């Protein structure tokens, strides 16, 4: 799994499946950022849909941890002075419950 880009998080919002069922957002998002699952190197929404619920929950937690979203805050550091601040996140990351 790789770090999510802004487009990884924005593009799924235009997907009709997400518009019809907001819980589908995590399926699309994970299919964009997971680079490989075992021997499967082409991960798409169908692959994510086929996972057991426990595996999906694990990958969602891993996504949050990799993207530093576990506590609803994102840490950011100034590249010049290295001062770190915590930014509160608003959205689905820490509070979203996929159905």
pLDDT of residue 72: 63
Phi and psi based region of residue 25 (left: phi greater than 0; alpha: psi -120 to 50; beta: remaining): alpha
pLDDT by residue (tens digit) across 53-72?
999 999 998 898 888 765 66
Place of tokens 């680079």: 35
Determine the Cα–Cα distance for residues 52 and 10; give it in Å rounded to an integer.
26
**What pairs with residue 86 in β-bridges?**
75
pTM, 2 dp:
0.69
Determine the Cα–Cα distance for residues 7 and 62; give it in Å rounded to an integer.
19
């Amino acid at each position: 799994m790789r770090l999510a880009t802004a487009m990884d998080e924005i593009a799924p919002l235009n997907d009709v499946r997400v518009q019809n069922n907001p819980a589908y957002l995590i399926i699309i998002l994970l299919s964009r950022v997971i680079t490989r699952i075992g021997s499967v190197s082409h991960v798409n929404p169908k692959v994510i849909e086929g996972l057991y619920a426990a595996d999906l929950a694990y990958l969602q937690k891993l996504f949050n941890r990799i993207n530093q979203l576990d506590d609803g805050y994102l840490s950011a550091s100034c590249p010049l002075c290295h001062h770190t601040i915590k930014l509160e996140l608003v959205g689905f990351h820490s509070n979203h419950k996929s159905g």
